[in-house]
Structure 1
Amino acid sequence: MKSLFKDDIISLGKKALEIKRSLWGDKVFFVKNIHLNYTNICINGCKFCAFAKDESDAEAYEYTINDVIDYLKQNCASCKEVHIVGGLHPHFKFDYYLNMLRAIKSNFPGIAVKAFSAVEIDYFTKISGLSTEKVLIKLKEAGLDMMPGGGAEIFAEGTRNEICPEKISAERWLEIMEIAHNQGIKTNATMLYGHIESEDDIIDHLLKLRKLQEKTGGFNAFIPLSFHPENTFLNHLYPSTGVEDIKIISISRIILDNIPHIKGYWVMLGEKTAQVALYFGADDLDGTIVKEKITHSAGASSKEGLTESELIYMIKSAGFIPVERDSFYNEIKIY
């Protein structure tokens, strides 16, 4: 598998595009969605994160349940999906998260709730005293529809200990995802690259995801996340290049041929590179992604949200067919 890194980018792209077209033809998917980062206060100290703050920081914030509902009403009342992640707040009780989900479902019954990374789920077990299974059951009963793939970062133990020593282990991340899948909760998966990882680390990460997918079939999509070093403790690093981004997209599509969708996450890639990624294995641009904060805290130059028309134009001008979807890739409209 490591030999894929030695292939030239055009050869990789041809292989990846062939796999993509065998699955989806020339369709490229997107969803009308909004990001909700309910707090940036976090007890972890991940070196790569520019978003998290201490309680005493002037930029620290936390949302009440009413704040959450007002935020959604003001910014994206017509969205089909809300993507919810936040810091590990030292004082929020588990009921806060359950009440948040209930309030969203009560006020926006048509919106799919994609919420809480495996890192947050692990934290909920600690503050509630409940098992992982019971935490997920309670969240599902309160309105959780699916989970994002954040917190995976890079699985290789040595590298993980360098960039996020306070975060849960790779084994724990994979365990939580397996439990979620077994309870019928679909999830995404991610990988953070472009920092201090090696090619071996990347292959190891992808193969671990492939193995779990073979077992559960619970991953909807894989999102390679390009590291943004600005405002982090790793700000001495150069960001990944466009060629590196495209190569990772292609290698991901080739190795993860058992995960249905590969995202060209335009927030991190930038709109133009994400558009090119459609020829190198990506079949999904995620969505409108209104009010994304985490990547932009680290210096992302992409817009803080795209309109439906902008996404459709991006896809059509690249020569593909735009398809609006819901969170589970049911097609809503083909343009």
Structure 2
Amino acid sequence: MRLSNDEALDLIKNAPLHELGRLALERKRQLHPEKITTFIIDRNINYTNVCWVDCKFCAFYRHAKEADAYILSYEEIGKKIEELIAIGGTQILFQGGVHPKLKIEWYEELVKFIATHYPSIDIHGFSAVEIDYIARISKISTREVLARLKQAGMYSMPGAGAEVLSDRVRELIAPKKVDTAGWLRIHKEAHEVGMKTTATMMFGTLETDEEIVRHWEHIRALQDETGGFRAFILWSFQGANTELARLYPEIKKQSSNRYLRLLAVSRLYLDNFKNIQSSWVTQGSYVGQLALLFGANDLGSTMMEENVVAAAGAKYRMNSEQMIELIRDVGELPAQRNTNYDILRRF
């Protein structure tokens, strides 16, 4: 029987943590009986830090005239990709700020450059927020933006920009971002043009438990319709250096207990998502490891480079050897995957 919203809410509020862990691990074992935990070797490349969206929870963005604003050159991007290839990497998570002046032709040429010169690298790129703005400034539809970027060589789209899919919350923390309906529509369009995506959620700002469950309901319903999400990734708001934490002092750092509780319920509720990723980048390596016993089957990325979350105070780092050790330590079998969750190498 599929978990209802009320049942999910009851689990969040009332279930003992150890019981949630047991149920989530049992569900994970049904989906992944071979006990393989995957990870990917990739690099986050932020092609620009210029952004007009001014999210209150972001400490990374700059305005165009600030001294440390940048747009990376092809040469700089190429050097970063070559360094990734040298350590066995297969994917770049490619995102900016939302630059106020860059149109579709600029993005097409950049994606073509990467796809042509580095065909072994999957471009897991941009976000619904970037796609929305590229469409507006280029005076074309978001579907056309997606189709043209796919044609240029973009492989898949991450779920960034979802935060919590509640317009009440979005209006408070990122009022310039595409709304809930827009985020869902752009992901649906990506699926329809043949591009897989991921779904994400950032909790720990101003949302209620009911809004968390409603977020899950939105993505579960779209997954029922399209089957286009590869994975779900949950992480907690990182408040250091952010305007949001200054504006709302009632926002508190989320506990490991809270993270594991929500992770476990998401595994139970999102019954049509095969893959759920552990967020060791925000939780640290050992809670990230514990997440494997609370429903996660993927340890995510080694993150050769990460700038956005680091700017907000999260400084955790881990290489592939450490990941392999953590996975083995909980009795799972480590394996390197690609963007599509195909196994490339077992250890």
Q: TM > 0.5 between the two? A: yes
Alignment counterpart, residue 3 of structure 1, candidates 10, 19, 43: 10
Name the CA distance, whole Å, in 2 between partners of 1:216 and 1:153: 21
Equivalence for 2:136:
126
Structure 2 residue 198 is the aligned partner of structure 1 residue 192: no
SS for the counterpart of 1:113 is: strand
Identity of aligned residues (%): 36
1:74 Cα deviation after fit: 3.4
Name the CA distance, whole Å, in 2 between partners of 1:167 and 1:45: 9
Name the CA distance, whole Å, in 2 between partners of 1:81 and 1:35: 9
Equivalence for 1:51:
60
Structure 2 residue 225 is the aligned partner of structure 1 residue 215: yes
Equivalence for 2:340:
328
Partner deviation per Cα, 1:206-261 (whole Å, 9 max, x = no partner): 11110110000000000002110001112233211110111111011011010111
Structure 2 residue 321 is the aligned partner of structure 1 residue 309: yes
Alignment counterpart, residue 39 of structure 1, candidates 21, 34, 48: 48
SS for the counterpart of 1:153 is: coil
Partner deviation per Cα, 1:294-317 (whole Å, 9 max, x = no partner): 1000000312xx322121111111
Equivalence for 2:108:
98
Partner deviation per Cα, 1:254-298 (whole Å, 9 max, x = no partner): 110101111002111211110000000000011211111110000
5+ unaligned residues in a row in structure 1: which ranges? none
Equivalences for 1:239-254 in 2 at 5 Å? 239-254=253-268
Equivalences for 1:1-335 in 2 at 5 Å? 1-5=8-12, 6-25=14-33, 26-77=35-86, 78-235=88-245, 236=249, 237-303=251-317, 306-335=318-347
Partner deviation per Cα, 1:152-183 (whole Å, 9 max, x = no partner): 11111211111111110000000000011111
Q: What is the identity, as a one-letter code, of the residue corresponding to 2:298?
A: D
Q: What is the identity, as a one-letter code, of the residue corresponding to 2:311?
A: S
Name the CA distance, whole Å, in 2 between partners of 1:59 and 1:276: 38
Q: What is the identity, as a one-letter code, of the residue corresponding to 2:9?
A: K
1:75 Cα deviation after fit: 4.6
Conserved? CA contact 2:108–2:148, under 8 Å: yes
SS for the counterpart of 1:234 is: helix
Runs of 4+ off more than 4 Å:
none
SS for the counterpart of 1:187 is: strand
Between 1:115-124 and 1:128-137, the stretch displaced more is 128-137
Name the CA distance, whole Å, in 1 between partners of 2:100 and 2:187: 24
SS for the counterpart of 2:252 is: coil
Name the CA distance, whole Å, in 2 between partners of 1:91 and 1:228: 29
Conserved? CA contact 2:101–2:137, under 8 Å: no
Name the CA distance, whole Å, in 1 between partners of 2:331 and 2:315: 25
1:66 Cα deviation after fit: 2.3
Name the CA distance, whole Å, in 1 between partners of 2:103 and 2:78: 19
1:57 Cα deviation after fit: 2.3
Q: What is the identity, as a one-letter code, of the residue corresponding to 1:72?
A: I
Q: What is the identity, as a one-letter code, of the residue corresponding to 1:152?
A: A
Name the CA distance, whole Å, in 2 between partners of 1:225 and 1:56: 31
Q: How many residues align?
A: 333
Between 1:309-318 and 1:187-196, the stretch displaced more is 309-318
Q: CA RMSD in A?
A: 1.2
Q: What is the identity, as a one-letter code, of the residue corresponding to 1:297?
A: A
Name the CA distance, whole Å, in 2 between partners of 1:239 and 1:319: 30
1:27 Cα deviation after fit: 1.1
Name the CA distance, whole Å, in 2 between partners of 1:198 and 1:188: 23
Q: State the TM-score, normalized to the length of structure 2.
A: 0.93
5+ unaligned residues in a row in structure 2: which ranges? 1-7
Q: What is the identity, as a one-letter code, of the residue corresponding to 1:213?
A: Q
Name the CA distance, whole Å, in 1 between partners of 2:307 and 2:260: 24
Q: What is the identity, as a one-letter code, of the residue corresponding to 1:168?
A: V
Name the CA distance, whole Å, in 2 between partners of 1:330 and 1:161: 38
Name the CA distance, whole Å, in 2 between partners of 1:179 and 1:124: 15
